[in-house]
Structure 1
């Protein structure tokens, strides 16, 4: 019994000694194969820096990085900027680099969910990262290099493929940098689980993003996204036109102009995106969907609704046309007496 105890003590001491001697060296190792551009915005916390380095695969442990940074008082001297992290750098090299700072000015780009590609291009131009034309050209280049889906009847091939989020760049960033980051983020968001689910539904990624973009523009809040998705699926199943005003608006403006009121003359104007005149989804996305809308497109709610109209705190859903007409009348009364 004593012998077993002594062996246990020796084993614990050996493990502890191994950890003491070798673990710090292991955690301090930096090993990656490709150069990484790390952008640190003004006011970024040590947690943000550690998470960024870890997510890029540069450091082995965010906790060890933070411990080392605090022990050397580096956590208080990290400067914002855009840093080139290259293979062969040590942890100490990275600490030194982060304290030097760069001459590049951090630039924040915020793209709301539901933005069209053209609105993104205008936003990029407004913060000085290139012209609207340059951004659109960069999206065309990215499409040609990375995708092969049909662009027939599409105004902008990458519509719906650029993920809406807040991004950190510098004043040296180019439209190509912006497009690359946004497109790759969407590719990461559309996880393997989502790809498997799309295949299960016999839908292409393009079709899922198209459905998700409609849900994004139609949903009043997160709670009703899956319900609206269910309405879309129900209509498609019986060959019923989707009759979505957002698609009509997108088609009339060719992805650029935006009208605020849809008239009967608009819904009767032939257009590939006019879902009053086609019994299918439009040829492509009409805006940038967020993750919640993508998930709703892949996991629609099962119900018997075929109609919906805006109510007081969101949409009101109906199973029959008669029920829908009552909901429409209630909406009109609500508008007269808000």
Structure 2
């Protein structure tokens, strides 16, 4: 009995200590030196919590989000570049996040479906660094990550890993910091649900982004993304060539140049990105996919379609090659009439 009372007393003391001291411990930053972070415009609380956790500034994402919601910070996050010293309380972080520091932001819009090189030229056009510096920065950033996919046949390691959005940058930011912001924004898109779904489908993150990039370049509007995704998966299951023109265009231009029309001669190109010749998925993404395309890649429409071609108001889908030939003929007739 005495032993039981002793154990119970220890448990009560430990619980009491945890109740009073754990919140204080979790509400203090854990970095041992100054760390600079940049919060882009429109950043969510999840994004900020993930950023702070990855940088080793906070000990618990859940506790940070809980405290932020308690204080109403989740609805008042301002963009800015912040230097966070060691051993500060959450209250100081909350104060910074509500104040913001980007007085004269440089606004850069990265359209959905842009290639990494197009993003690089957009950054150069905004006066934030040269395209070559941006590409080099993506290589540096890639080395800091633990990606396991084969890079021997890709043109740019971070292709598809930079999220297309409107960003508010500062002229004081380095090109590497800009790359980090774009990459971490993409990482933030992959919620716990998306990561679990990726595992359920037996896919890697690289494969999901690759499929999403194909959908991004092929879809005419949001309503057909899931249907196009379904065609891609159906063809993969049947070991059919994907035969996607966008991959041919990307391969011929080596991720930089763009051709407006695919000729029959292009379909004979030896590039591993030529899905008219190479079986399965291309070696990597061919563009920056939107969240809508990522969602479609993870939740494809369940149907029996194997083909699609442009028609009025979007793509026309078919189950057999014969149906597809008729749809192609109708498309050509429509083009000639116009």
- 2:161 aligned with 1:161, yes or no? yes
Counterparts in 2 of 1:145 and 1:324: CA distance versus 1, 3 Å: same
Structure 1 residue 32, shift from structure 2 partner: 3.4
Structure 1 residue 195, shift from structure 2 partner: 2.2
Structure 1 residue 241, shift from structure 2 partner: 0.7
The answer to whether the Cα contact below 8 Å between 1:51 and 1:62 also exists between their aligned partners in 2 is no
Counterparts in 2 of 1:102 and 1:212: CA distance versus 1, 3 Å: closer
Partner of 1:143: 142
In the alignment, the residues of structure 2 paired with residue 38 and residue 254 of structure 1 have an alpha-carbon distance, to the nearest angstrom, of: 32
Partner of 1:203: 203
Partner of 1:129: 128
Partner of 2:60: none
Of the three residues 57, 67, 76, the one matched with 1:60 is: 67
Q: Secondary structure at the match of 2:168?
A: strand
Question: Can you give the 5+ residue segments of structure 2 that lack an aligned partner in the other structure?
Answer: 1-22, 53-63
Counterparts in 2 of 1:79 and 1:243: CA distance versus 1, 3 Å: closer
Structure 1 residue 312, shift from structure 2 partner: 0.9
The answer to whether the Cα contact below 8 Å between 1:311 and 1:331 also exists between their aligned partners in 2 is yes
Aligned residues: 296
Between stretches 282-291 and 326-335, larger displacement belongs to 326-335
Counterparts in 2 of 1:332 and 1:37: CA distance versus 1, 3 Å: same
Partner of 2:297: 297
In the alignment, the residues of structure 1 paired with residue 287 and residue 37 of structure 2 have an alpha-carbon distance, to the nearest angstrom, of: 29
Counterparts in 2 of 1:230 and 1:275: CA distance versus 1, 3 Å: same
The answer to whether the Cα contact below 8 Å between 1:80 and 1:106 also exists between their aligned partners in 2 is no
Matches within 5 A, 1:222-261: 222-261=222-261
1:63-85 deviation digits (Å, cap 9, x = unpaired): 7468xxxxxxxx9xx99864434
In the alignment, the residues of structure 1 paired with residue 65 and residue 215 of structure 2 have an alpha-carbon distance, to the nearest angstrom, of: 37
- 2:119 aligned with 1:120, yes or no? yes
Counterparts in 2 of 1:106 and 1:85: CA distance versus 1, 3 Å: farther
1:269-317 deviation digits (Å, cap 9, x = unpaired): 2110000011211011000111111111111111111110011101000
Structure 1 residue 330, shift from structure 2 partner: 1.2
Partner of 2:109: 110
The answer to whether the Cα contact below 8 Å between 2:115 and 2:286 also exists between their aligned partners in 1 is yes
Q: Secondary structure at the match of 2:213?
A: helix
Partner of 1:3: none
Between stretches 195-204 and 179-188, larger displacement belongs to 195-204
Q: Secondary structure at the match of 2:284?
A: coil
In the alignment, the residues of structure 2 paired with residue 241 and residue 331 of structure 1 have an alpha-carbon distance, to the nearest angstrom, of: 22
In the alignment, the residues of structure 1 paired with residue 44 and residue 268 of structure 2 have an alpha-carbon distance, to the nearest angstrom, of: 54
In the alignment, the residues of structure 1 paired with residue 312 and residue 171 of structure 2 have an alpha-carbon distance, to the nearest angstrom, of: 44
Partner of 2:29: 32
Partner of 1:13: none
Q: State the structure with more CA Rg.
A: 1
Counterparts in 2 of 1:108 and 1:226: CA distance versus 1, 3 Å: same
1:212-249 deviation digits (Å, cap 9, x = unpaired): 10001001111111100111111111111111000000
> Please, what is the CA RMSD of the aligned residues?
3.2
Partner of 1:317: 317
Structure 1 residue 93, shift from structure 2 partner: 9.4
Partner of 2:170: 170
Structure 1 residue 192, shift from structure 2 partner: 2.6
The answer to whether the Cα contact below 8 Å between 1:40 and 1:106 also exists between their aligned partners in 2 is no
In the alignment, the residues of structure 1 paired with residue 277 and residue 301 of structure 2 have an alpha-carbon distance, to the nearest angstrom, of: 25
Partner of 2:281: 281
The answer to whether the Cα contact below 8 Å between 2:308 and 2:324 also exists between their aligned partners in 1 is yes
Counterparts in 2 of 1:83 and 1:308: CA distance versus 1, 3 Å: same
Counterparts in 2 of 1:333 and 1:111: CA distance versus 1, 3 Å: same
The answer to whether the Cα contact below 8 Å between 1:114 and 1:288 also exists between their aligned partners in 2 is yes
In the alignment, the residues of structure 2 paired with residue 302 and residue 91 of structure 1 have an alpha-carbon distance, to the nearest angstrom, of: 49
TM-score (norm. length: structure 2):
0.77
1:119-167 deviation digits (Å, cap 9, x = unpaired): 0111111111111111111111111120232101100011011111122
Counterparts in 2 of 1:254 and 1:30: CA distance versus 1, 3 Å: same
Q: Secondary structure at the match of 2:151?
A: coil
